Amino acid sequence: MEKDIASFEKNKYQDIRVRISEYQGNDVIDIRIWTQPPQGNEKVPTGKGININVKLFSQLKEAINKLEKELVDNRLL
């Protein structure tokens, strides 16, 4: 399975994309930077990112919730 879930601009030349894909026979959540090559028209994935087995999604979600709370508590959001 390969499906784009979300994408947002990091800067003029790069996006951050969240996808569900397959890696070495496992379903993974892929969070990766995509960039515009100098001679290319379409953005391509870089090595900067992470693959997380979908079985770890609840732990990832819990970590993001903790991060959000910390950011709010410190008035960063």
CA angle 32-24-46, nearest 5°?
25
pLDDT in tens, 38-66: 888 899 999 999 999 999 999 999 999 99
pTM, to two decimals: 0.86
44-53 and 26-35 as β-strands: parallel, antiparallel, unpaired? Answer: antiparallel
Instruction: Delimit the domains of the chain by residue range.
Output: 3-73
Give me 15's structure tokens: 């996006």
3-73 maps to which CATH number? 2.30.31.10
pLDDT at 40: 81
CA distance 49 to 35: 12
